[in-house]
Amino acid sequence: MDFEFNEEQKMFREAVKDFASREVAPLVDEAEANESCPAELFTKMGKLGYLCPGYPAEYGGGGLGESGTCIMVEELARVCSGITSGLMVQSGLATYPILSHGSEEQKQRFLVPAVNGDKIAAYGLTEPNAGSDAAAIETSAKRDGDYYIINGSKIYITNGTICDFVTLAVSTDKSQGSRGISTIVVEKGTTGFSASKISKLGHHSADTAELVFEDCWVPATNLIGEEGRGYKYMLESLNSARISHAARSLGLAQAAYEASLEYAKERTQFGQPIGQFQTIAFKLANMATEIEAARWLIYRVAWLYDQGDECRKEAPMAKVFASDLAIRLAEEAMRIHAGAGYMAESRVHRYFRDAILYHTTEGTTEIQNLIISRELGL
């Protein structure tokens, strides 16, 4: 393993960092205040080739693998975790099943426009009664000739109200449990498909919705892969998504650290910057050390994944470690900023609100530990 990014990766990191500073940062305050995702970013990033950097060049991607996706997600999350959520779903969960198991026609109709930013994608998995127990999906799809009739609902769906299509996990045979789950693409405008926005504690700039499907007639040609293989496709998508999720946690942790370091140099108490006091200096030293450890873990796992390793143990490890780190460092940043951090306009106030979610999405920490323990043979 090379312990340095190659030149292409370095150039990509600088390009995304510059884009985040110029194009994303100016939109954050308004997006957070309005609780809306700036949909124009999908188009801008797609046209520059930044939206799905891990996907093959033949479909418009950057060919940089999971490592490239992590670079993109980390740099965007340093600016805004909420906005990053929608872009991250586009570059992974919502499109990966199509890339891996879709027909060439589906790739041209859904994947290529998503990679280019011409279409926004969502991923419909979680339901009111199916979260950690993903096999308990109740949304059904019954075959009727050349169509599937879909009924049910999904909740906490990123990009839900702005998406052009949703990659949907459905039950096509409830008697088979997880072996009866399939994946179907449902397009915006399909009769019976509706979405309503959900307000949240954090990630205000992420579009989050409840989706409802009432007798939605969807062409059978929108079935991804084979019937009954959707649960397997879901696990594959989640495994890679956990690595990029860890990169998002890393980006927020880095932002919390940088804001705290800057504040510690500027804030004066008892005649000197607070960073000169050992208590604050040691906090910052520990924050920097933990970020460095997380970065090595995450990019090693991304590298392993790019070599063809499934990382069934390592991906959950990276997700658990990085989400814990982000929450802990966001809290440390709040303590270093004291009253200034508690104000609504404070950046660290947003970091703290956003980080709390990291233990939940892409599988809770408890589920990750369950997966890890099973991989250890327990």
Active site residue 362: yes
Catalytic residue among 58, 331, 362, 366: 362
- In terms of phi and psi (left: phi > 0; alpha: psi -120 to 50; beta: otherwise), the region of 6 is beta
Bridge partners of 194?
212
Distance CA(374)–CA(378), nearest Å, equals 5
**DSSP string of 265-295?**
HH-EETTEEGGGSHHHHHHHHHHHHHHHHHH
The two tokens of residue 77 are 């999350």
Beta strand segments in 78-177, E: 121-124, 140-144, 147-158, 165-171
Q: Position of tokens 């140099």?
A: 265
Return the structure tokens found at 137: 């999906």
Cα-to-chain-centroid distance, residue 154: 17
Sequence-ordered strand ranges (E) for 81-127: 121-124
First to last CA, the chain: 30
In degrees, rounded to 5, the angle at the alpha carbon of residue 169 between the alpha carbons of residues 356 and 174 is 120
Q: Which of 78, 125, 96, 74 is nearest to 256 (CA)?
A: 78
Active site residues: 362
